[in-house]
């Protein structure tokens, strides 16, 4: 959902109202096809492998456990051994890191679950989840108390584990949970007997399977069945369809796949929530409803509504976190603590949606991106940046100081000028640039942390389990692109672009700093290893490549050691795949956003060599004598 292309994206419609039909998993499923059957199926194939050669202890145990654990229940029980073996509060970073990756892959089907020949109802899964939750909650609390980078790393891992555990509320720990599906299979709501075929499919594909050996594939099967029941042109009895909708919501509750609004509404309806949470939740719900009610893709009313919704969302997150760590929820039952923590995490995820809508309303995603903003738009952009930075700071706990600083500076600057607007003129542009550059550095540092946590571990675990190579390669990038830090980087770029326009600076953007001297410059349409010009380059005959167009999904390393710098003739997001890979390879990368400057750069293709100096504060590109000097290079 977070892919970016050079082609201008259409403005997205406002998010639809949350409904019980929200498909939580089907679109993200990376496992084998789940078929609806009217008879008992087989145990299911396991398409993974289990190679433990050279693995660290935690990864080795996970791979060995997966080999010996076909079902989701068995995998969860074995995860208890990996995650809960140490002292209370002790953070085994390998255990946390490899487990977060492994449970993510299990949840989307990349690591297959199959029936194990036994008969255990979902309450056994819930029991394992409760024990794991209590341990990682203690680990998170201990790390948060120590603060610093370690706290940020631990929370980044633990917060990715929480949504991968099933719920263990009373409805799922009872001896026979999720009984509604049995009533549906037996005909509840099917007054005229029109649903015999789908009832047989529900019985064999969902009911029996769920009650003897539940796994993520059961949610996929349920979502496929709901799509079948509600497809255009169908005439299944409304009572029958409604019963299945209710069951779908119940199953999402078990897999902790509900929407954040559904989760909060249920918590307020069924639990004894502190008044502070009720007030914060109501304020957010009201602000969200006003935002959802605006159908236009841009305009001052939408910007104001997104600003308000983000502010109320932040207040709700902080209220939940405060109650969980030092308030009334600290002593609540573990099942309620889990649900409120997931509500807080879900609010962070929804901040991504709100920020995306705000960014599009500002024209930051247009092609070419807008480089001028009104005072009201600049105010909105700064407040959106503050909200994004604040969201990361809340998640980082004791390690989010830099993002907290960005949030404070941006929110203060947004209203520090006449009439509650940002200051104008060159001084205002320079102050805006300073905040945006700080935000960009914080975002890049956060992404480097995620890369350190996940890249090596995902590669090692993926190879050991035989995971599809593409799934392995995009794991870390997927974590970055799905986070609000991705949005903060977009907003920083938009503010920097506007600041450069206001101060009359050159229209190019340093994405990866560096210096290259003496290499020649070559021009290509696309950055592809199969391009004849790119393929002809080598370490002994390198070049800076001037690229006419890129999607942002290109690789640097596959182009070989002859590519020592990249000039891209249009804007590029700083956290795109190409930017992330260029940063890892330490290959200087500059986006030239001014067509006239791009033409001047291309004209240097006739020079014997060029001298590129790329820094956030200044960029220069000049002709020089040949003879390469520099540390760039995408290959190895």
Give the active site residues.
577
Closest CA to 516 of 609, 592, 398, 438: 609
Q: Is the Cβ–Cβ distance between 301 and 324 less than 8 Å?
A: no
- The Cα-based distances of 41 to 115, 233, 343, 384 in angstroms read 10, 29, 36, 51
Closest CA to 324 of 342, 347, 309: 342
- In the block, tokens 């983000």 appear at 310
Closest CA to 526 of 6, 113, 80, 44: 6
> Structure tokens of 327?
């308030």
Backbone torsions φ then ψ of 110, nearest 5 degrees: -65, -35
3-state secondary structure of 118: coil
Closest CA to 513 of 611, 434, 583: 583
CA 569 – CA 226 distance, rounded (Å): 47
Q: Is the Cβ–Cβ distance between 564 and 587 less than 8 Å?
A: yes
CB within 8 Å of 617: residues ≥ 6 apart: none
Q: In what order do the strands lie in the sheet with 520-524?
A: 508-512, 589-592, 563-568, 543-547, 520-524
Closest CA to 309 of 277, 267, 278, 280: 280
Closest CA to 537 of 516, 558, 553: 558
């Amino acid at each position: 959902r977070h892919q970016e292309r050079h082609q201008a994206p259409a403005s997205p419609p406002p998010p639809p109202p949350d409904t019980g039909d929200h498909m939580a998993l089907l679109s993200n499923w990376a496992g084998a096809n789940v078929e609806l059957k009217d008879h008992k199926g087989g145990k299911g194939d396991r398409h993974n492998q289990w190679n433990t050669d050279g693995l660290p202890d935690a990864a080795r145990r996970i791979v060995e456990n997966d080999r010996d654990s076909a079902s989701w229940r068995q995998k969860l029980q074995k995860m208890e051994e990996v995650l809960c073996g140490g002292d209370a509060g002790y953070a085994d970073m390998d255990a946390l890191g490899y487990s977060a990756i492994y449970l993510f892959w299990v949840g989307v089907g990349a690591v297959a679950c199959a029936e194990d020949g036994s008969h255990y109802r979902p309450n056994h899964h819930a029991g394992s989840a409760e024990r794991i939750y209590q341990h990682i909650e203690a680990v998170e609390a201990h790390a948060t108390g120590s603060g610093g980078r370690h706290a940020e790393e631990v929370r980044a891992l633990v917060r990715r584990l929480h949504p991968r555990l099933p719920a263990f509320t009373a409805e799922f720990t009872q001896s026979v949970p999720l009984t509604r599906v049995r009533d549906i299979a037996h005909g509840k709501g099917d007054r005229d007997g029109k649903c015999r075929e789908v009832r047989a499919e529900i019985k064999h594909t969902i009911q029996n399977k769920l009650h003897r050996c539940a796994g993520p594939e059961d949610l996929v099967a349920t979502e496929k069945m709901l799509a079948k029941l509600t497809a255009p042109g169908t005439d299944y009895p409304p009572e029958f369809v409604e019963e299945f909708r209710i069951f779908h919501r119940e199953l999402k509750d078990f897999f902790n796949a509900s929407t954040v609004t559904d989760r909060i509404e249920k918590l307020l309806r069924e639990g004894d929530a502190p008044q502070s949470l009720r007030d914060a939740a109501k304020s957010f719900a009201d602000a969200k409803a006003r935002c959802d009610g605006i159908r236009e893709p841009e305009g001052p009313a939408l910007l104001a509504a997104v600003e308000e919704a983000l502010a109320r969302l932040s207040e709700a997150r902080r209220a939940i976190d405060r109650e969980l760590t030092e308030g009334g929820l600290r002593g609540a039952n573990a099942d309620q603590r889990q649900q409120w923590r997931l509500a807080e995490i879900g609010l962070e995820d929804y901040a991504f949606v709100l920020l995306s809508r705000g960014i599009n309303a500002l024209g930051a995603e247009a092609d070419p991106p807008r480089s001028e903003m009104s005072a009201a738009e600049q105010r909105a952009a700064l407040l959106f940046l503050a909200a994004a930075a604040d969201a990361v700071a809340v998640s980082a706990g004791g390690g989010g100081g830099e993002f907290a600083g960005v949030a404070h500076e941006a929110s203060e600057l947004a209203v520090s000028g006449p009439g509650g607007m940002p200051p104008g003129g060159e001084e205002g542009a320079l102050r805006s640039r300073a905040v945006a550059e700080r935000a960009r550095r914080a975002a890049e540092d956060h992404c480097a942390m995620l890369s350190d946590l996940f890249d090596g571990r995902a590669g090692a675990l993926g190879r050991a389990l035989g995971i599809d190579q593409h799934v392995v390669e995009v794991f870390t990038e997927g974590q970055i692109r799905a986070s609000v830090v991705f949005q903060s980087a977009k907003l920083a770029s938009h503010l920097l672009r506007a600041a450069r326009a206001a101060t009359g600076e050159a229209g190019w953007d340093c994405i990866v700093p560096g210096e290259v001297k003496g290499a020649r410059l070559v021009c290509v349409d696309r950055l592809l290893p199969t391009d004849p010009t790119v393929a002809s380059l080598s370490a002994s005959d390198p070049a800076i490549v001037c690229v006419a167009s890129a999607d942002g999904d290109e690789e640097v390393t596959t182009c070989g050691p002859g590519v020592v710098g990249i000039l891209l003739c249009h804007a590029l997001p700083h956290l795109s795949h190409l930017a992330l890979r260029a940063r890892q390879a330490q290959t200087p990368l500059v986006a030239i956003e001014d067509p006239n400057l791009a033409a001047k750069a291309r004209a240097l293709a006739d020079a014997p060599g060029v001298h590129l100096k790329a820094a956030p504060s200044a960029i220069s590109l000049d002709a020089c004598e040949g003879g390469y000097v520099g540390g760039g290079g995408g290959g190895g």
